[in-house]
């Protein structure tokens, strides 16, 4: 622990989103700053905690910081069964919003378990038929899905994309606002997310774990684009 650290003491269980601007890697040890870390939620394991920071912070910053989602509003979440999507559904519900979420056929039950009010199977139904005049869209798919999303946002509404460049001409045409989001580490927001986890308002979805030696296999699974929740690499056994 560095001399200027005030929030933590040696031995405290923490979880963190490391701000690796130049890319990252997998390692047994890492250095974190105070702004990147928060106390680990007491109700979950280290394995589950590892699956939280990047996806939950992304969802939080998209919905709360950028879109200013509030109670009573309706949000359309694309890719609701993925890491960001599964966090976003639960954060939106905790905020008091109505949630429409998209996923493939096999993940429809998961969307409902996470709290989605309307579950859309994008392989069988156009999301435009279920989502009209929504206040907010959270897009983690891009391409055609993003292009079709501008038209379902009500005038004055907001669209956040995580994977593409926002089209200003489309925003102007529909009278809406929007951003392309890059997530930033924020310990205060991570602590808020931790509270929601301990209050049982956010459930962490870890679909698979791999030992560090099988990181390549984990990457191959992620590359399919059909991972449910998060995959976690286990460097060591959980501390007792």
Residues 6 or more apart whose Cβ sits within 8 Å of residue 94: 196, 201, 202
Cα 26 to Cα 20, 149, 216, 220: the distances in Å are 12, 35, 11, 15
**pLDDT tens for the chain, residues 1 to 240:** 999 999 999 999 999 999 877 777 888 898 999 999 999 999 999 999 999 999 999 999 999 999 999 999 999 999 999 999 999 999 999 999 999 999 999 999 999 999 999 999 999 999 999 999 999 999 999 999 999 999 999 999 999 999 999 999 999 999 999 999 999 999 999 999 999 999 999 999 999 999 999 999 999 999 988 889 999 999 988 877
C-alpha distances (whole Å) from 98 to each of 12, 15, 88, 119 are 37, 29, 12, 11
How is the chain split into domains, by residue range? 14-53+186-200+210-234, 55-180
Q: What is the model's pLDDT at position 90?
A: 97
Q: Characterize the bridge pairing of strands 37-39 and 14-16.
A: antiparallel
Question: pLDDT at position 73, please?
Answer: 98
Closest to 33 (Cα-Cα) out of 23, 21, 18: 18
Query: For position 227, what pLDDT does the model report?
Result: 87
What is the rounded distance in angstroms from the CA atom of residue 236 to the CA atom of residue 240? Answer: 12
Q: Angle 122-88-163 (CA atoms, 0-180°, nearest 5)?
A: 65
Instruction: Give the separation between CA 92 and CA 72, rounded to whole angstroms.
Output: 10
- Say which CATH superfamily domain 55-180 falls into: NAD(P)-binding Rossmann-like Domain (3.40.50.720)
Q: Which helix (H) or strand (E) holds 129?
A: helix 127-130
pLDDT in the model for residue 226: 82
């Amino acid at each position: 622990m560095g001399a200027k650290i005030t929030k933590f003491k040696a031995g405290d269980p923490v979880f963190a989103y490391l701000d690796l601007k130049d890319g990252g890697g997998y390692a047994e040890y890492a250095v974190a700053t105070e702004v990147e870390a928060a106390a680990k939620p007491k109700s979950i394991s280290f394995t589950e905690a590892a699956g939280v920071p990047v996806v939950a912070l992304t969802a939080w910053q998209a919905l709360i910081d950028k879109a200013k989602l509030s109670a009573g509003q309706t949000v359309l979440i694309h890719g609701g069964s993925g890491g960001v999507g599964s966090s976003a559904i639960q954060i939106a519900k905790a905020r008091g919003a109505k949630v429409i979420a998209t996923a493939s056929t096999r993940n429809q039950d998961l969307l409902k378990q996470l709290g989605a009010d309307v579950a859309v199977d994008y392989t069988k139904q156009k999301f435009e038929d279920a989502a009209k005049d929504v206040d907010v869209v959270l897009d983690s798919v891009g391409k055609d899905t993003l292009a079709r999303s501008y038209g379902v946002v009500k005038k004055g509404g907001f669209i956040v994309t995580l994977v593409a460049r926002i089209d200003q001409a489309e925003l102007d045409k529909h009278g809406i606002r929007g951003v392309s989001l890059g997530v930033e580490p924020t310990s205060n927001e991570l602590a808020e997310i931790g509270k929601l986890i301990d209050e049982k308002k956010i459930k962490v979805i870890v679909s698979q774990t791999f030992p560090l030696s099988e990181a390549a296999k984990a990457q191959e699974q992620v590359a399919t684009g059909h991972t449910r929740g998060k995959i976690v690499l286990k460097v060591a056994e959980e501390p007792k």
